[in-house]
Structure 1
Amino acid sequence: MENSDVVIGVIFLSQTIFGFLGNSFLVYHYLMLYFVGCKLKFTDWILQHLIVANFLTLLCKGIPHTVSAFGLKDFLDDIGCKLIFYLHRIGRGVSISSTCFLSVFQAITISPKSSRWTQLKVKSPSYIASCVYMSWVLSFIVNIAFPMYMTARWYNRNITRLRVFEFCSSVQHDKTSDIVNAVFISIPDVLLVVLMLWSSGYMVCILYRHKQRMKHIHRSNFSFKSSAEFRATKIILLLVSTFVFFYTISCILQINMSLTHNPNSLWVNMASIVAACFPAVSPFLVISRSLCSACAGNRIS
């Protein structure tokens, strides 16, 4: 085993452990709030779906690549490869949609009463709840063909038709089919990212106007409810910006690998590390800013 493999293995192992600890802490936190009778905000409900997506990504990226980096390459059979990559794609899709819906809902929540979004404030929870569940269904459907291209490294001996990764391989087709499949799979992600950026830009404008107004208002007249809402908005913007940053780098690496017949292990490992960064980092962003810690005054009678 080379020193580079040990370093990569340690990175994957550390990333996976910290990611599982952070997301597990949030699960424990929500369970405690439930048992003590706290009424959670709708943003917390969306975050719970994001946590599940984070677990899927860490489980399907962190653990297999850690095992592979420490020298065990052919530990998955054909079904295992298909399942691992399929679940990762589902987790990735739900992670994008959950982050997007979190941004959209918060943008509607903090929109001024005089805006056109006023009527949506009451109905938005039911709309976005349906969209979140629909995102799970769409992730299962859109990525259903993805496992068909995956196979174990030792399962197919016709190496010329395979794009070999660390512990699995994908069956290669002609370039036209690959481009069509890539476009079809990417359309929902692109639309969600555009919607995410639009809602985030809208929130930035609202925060800027709010800051300008607060310069002329005495601090004692500033309501705690408004303060809490805008703190939550800043945290969601931090989550969105972190997601877009890692998502952009991941897309660049994925495009590079798709154009390569047999990508080397460095590119594969870099892409996997970046793909697992947001699931590992996002729970600590939530914990450090205490987005979901406040339930004072929200106890269920």
Structure 2
Amino acid sequence: MDCLRDPVLPITGVLGNSMLFCMYSFNFTTGYRKRSIDPILIHLVFVNAILLLFRGIPEMLRVKKWEYFVNDIGCKFIIYLQTVFRGLSLSSTSLLSVFQAITISPTTLFWSKIKTKAPKCVLPCCLLCWIFNMLIDVFVPVYVTGPKNSTIKGRLSLGFCSLNVNGMRPLKSVIWKSVYDFVFVGIMAYSSMYMVFILYRHHQQVKHIHHSNLTSSVSPEIQATRSILLLVSTFVCFSIASGPFIIYMDSFQGTISWTYYVSALLSMSFQSLSPFVLLSTDIQMATSFCVL
């Protein structure tokens, strides 16, 4: 399992997200090729970078046998931030897909009003995501303890810390988190299907151009939409893949097996690969990168 303990993935992800954070921030502050979704992209790559730091560094400490330098307070703080930023990554990706769906929607009277108001709602929506995620996970630190208590029966091992599963069951936290994930994934899926429909209709409208001798150019909005659709698809694939391993770990509490390492790898894969997905598909951002 050494390949699953390799810190290259989180380190590469942090560097990729940090680079995109600088690029998106530059575009947003200078107005160079500024887009309405840039604040959400800035928020997303920032959240992903911080999540990788608080998810990857503890894993490195555990592999290096330094986990006993983390006490109960450190465990509570790290696990709380992990859960908060995981929720922020999910909600930010959903928010990105919704706002992009609004951006490419038809220019009707109804959508024109929404398009005008949407940019003003970006920052309040991001702030609400922070407040909501910090509140929904506020109970987590109460049931988290340090490495010395990780072998006690009824506790789910988190590698370097442990979680009192029996104590959390009356709160039905697993059900609430499942509902939370389902709602945001549902929003993500619905907005993605709407964007696919818009792209298909756009393809049908310009189909005659492809049969002519003229060179057809794809608009920046369409390019960004394709990029976000691929990003959402990547998120959903990794989320679905990690589900069975999380269920298996919950069934066999207190032990660290190969499923733990696979689950840890999958939990960091989207955040690590997402900046490179954006760079490879977002032609406008790739052009900005070449200019800089």
TM-score in same-fold range (> 0.5): yes
Change over 3 Å in CA distance of 1:158–1:271 after alignment to 2: closer
Return 5+ residue gaps in structure 1 as ranges: 297-301
Distance between the aligned counterparts of 2:28 and 2:226, measured in 1? 25
Give the structure 1 partner of residue 257 of structure 2.
265
Give the structure 2 partner of residue 137 of structure 1.
131
Q: Name which of structure 1's ranges 114-123 and 15-24 shifts more when overlaid on structure 2.
A: 114-123
Measured after TM superposition, the shift of residue 268 of structure 1 is 1.6
Q: Aligned match of 1:192 in 167, 181, 184? A: 184
The equivalences for 1:1-301 within 5 A come to 4=1, 6-10=2-6, 13-33=7-27, 38=32, 40-114=34-108, 116-154=110-148, 156=149, 159-173=152-166, 176-177=169-170, 180-217=172-209, 220=214, 227-290=219-282, 293=285
**Cα shift readout 1:272-291 (whole Å, capped 9, x = no counterpart):** 11010011000111122235
- 8 Å contact from structure 1 (residues 164, 170) kept in 2: yes
- 8 Å contact from structure 2 (residues 39, 122) kept in 1: no
Report sequence identity in percent. Answer: 36
Measured after TM superposition, the shift of residue 31 of structure 1 is 4.6
What is the DSSP-based 3-state SS (H/G/I as helix, E as strand, rest coil) of the residue aligned with 1:163? strand
Measured after TM superposition, the shift of residue 85 of structure 1 is 0.9
Q: Name which of structure 1's ranges 39-48 and 201-210 shifts more when overlaid on structure 2.
A: 39-48
Measured after TM superposition, the shift of residue 203 of structure 1 is 0.6
**Cα shift readout 1:72-122 (whole Å, capped 9, x = no counterpart):** 342311011111111111111111111111111111111112485332111
Distance between the aligned counterparts of 1:190 and 1:270, measured in 2? 22
Change over 3 Å in CA distance of 1:37–1:106 after alignment to 2: closer
Change over 3 Å in CA distance of 1:221–1:274 after alignment to 2: closer
Distance between the aligned counterparts of 2:109 and 2:207, measured in 1? 22
Measured after TM superposition, the shift of residue 187 of structure 1 is 2.1
Q: Which structure has more helix as a fraction of its residues?
A: 2
**Cα shift readout 1:162-196 (whole Å, capped 9, x = no counterpart):** 22332111113168526x11112232221111010
Distance between the aligned counterparts of 2:132 and 2:287, measured in 1? 33
Distance between the aligned counterparts of 1:32 and 1:201, measured in 2? 31
Measured after TM superposition, the shift of residue 27 of structure 1 is 2.4
- 8 Å contact from structure 1 (residues 286, 292) kept in 2: no
What is the DSSP-based 3-state SS (H/G/I as helix, E as strand, rest coil) of the residue aligned with 1:209? helix
Distance between the aligned counterparts of 1:255 and 1:116, measured in 2? 44
Change over 3 Å in CA distance of 1:119–1:36 after alignment to 2: closer
Measured after TM superposition, the shift of residue 132 of structure 1 is 1.6
The answer to which structure, 1 or 2, has the higher relative contact order (CA under 8 A, 6+ apart) is: 1
- 8 Å contact from structure 1 (residues 86, 146) kept in 2: yes
